[in-house]
Structure 1
Amino acid sequence: MASAPRTHAGAERAPIRIRLAATVAALAIVGAGTGLRAVASGDVAKYGGDALYCLLMFALVILVAPRVTPPTAAAVALAVSWGVEFLQLTGLPAHLSQQSTAARLVLGSTFNAPDLFWYAVGAATGWLVVHRMRP
């Protein structure tokens, strides 16, 4: 008695589910960042925003590459966040931030060394959450 060939429908749908979850997470992170700025100020808003920025990068990495491992997604998100922070040493983001609100939101304007730590907190948070959620 021959059995029907097995399909990998579940495996084929996995990237779609992962992308959907990453999209929902990204939207929630943007909402959290907006909410944080609305209710907090000073260091809480600034450094919480830094962690959320890197966490958003983490979600976007997973959205683009749903099969990426959590450590790789965290490393890429951290590298991008640190890269943007170090780019601020050139003055280019400050110039672009004067021209565009979007550039100010994405690139910032002024280098601040403590931001590097808070980006690491955001990357580690993403890694931990996804690691615990995956079977």
Structure 2
Amino acid sequence: MPTRSQLLYTFLSLLTVVLGLASRRYGGELPGWVVAYAGDALWALLVFWLLGWCQPRQPGRWVASWALLVAFGVEFSQLFHPPWLDTLRHTTLGGLVLGRGFLWSDLLCYTLGVAVGAGLEQLWAGRGKAPGF
């Protein structure tokens, strides 16, 4: 079974971070739906790339499943508001990583983001570049 290139996944992760930050920074110049949803989809895609980087030999199905579990877990954690966690969420990095408030629509965005990563891997797997499903 082919293995994921950690160099490629590092690049994909950095590109995803740049796109996600740009979707926030240039939100006034983008359509409203992009501003509302792209950041969440890109966040989940980043989780997918990072798990693929950490587990280069795991099948894509494994990476996608764990990426969704992590993303959904973080989203559902936003239903809980202990003071220490809210303090962390109100920092810039904490807000970007942990979010601030639960939204059902974020679950759909996360699913879409992971699906994009998994779909790209399936395309690459057909070319012998990444572990298949």
Q: TM-score range by the shorter chain?
A: 0.7 to 0.9
Q: For residues 25-65 of structure 1, what are the alpha-carbon distances to aligned partners after superposition, in whole Å with 9 as ceiling and x for unaligned?
A: 00000011122222325442231111000000000001101
Aligned twin of 1:95: 87
Root-mean-square deviation (CA, aligned residues, Å) is 1.8
Higher helix share: 1
Structure 1 spans left out of the alignment, 5+ residues: 1-10
Distance in 2 (CA, whole Å) between partners of 1:48 and 1:124 is 14
Aligned residue-pair number: 121
Instruction: Report the TM-score when normalising by structure 1.
Output: 0.81
More moved, 118-127 vs 37-46: 37-46
Calculate the TM-score normalised by the size of structure 2: 0.83
Higher relative contact order (CA 8 A, sep 6+): 2
Larger Rg: 1
Uncovered stretches (5+) of structure 2, i.e. residues with no partner = 129-133
Query: What is the aligned-residue identity percentage?
Result: 36
CA contact (8 A) 1:91 1:109 kept: no
- Superposed displacement of residue 101, structure 1: 1.6
Structure 1 consecutive aligned stretches of length 4 or more whose deviation exceeds 6 Å:
none
Deviation (angstroms), 1:85: 0.2
Query: 1-side partners of 2:24 and 2:92: how far apart?
Result: 15
Aligned position for 1:5:
none
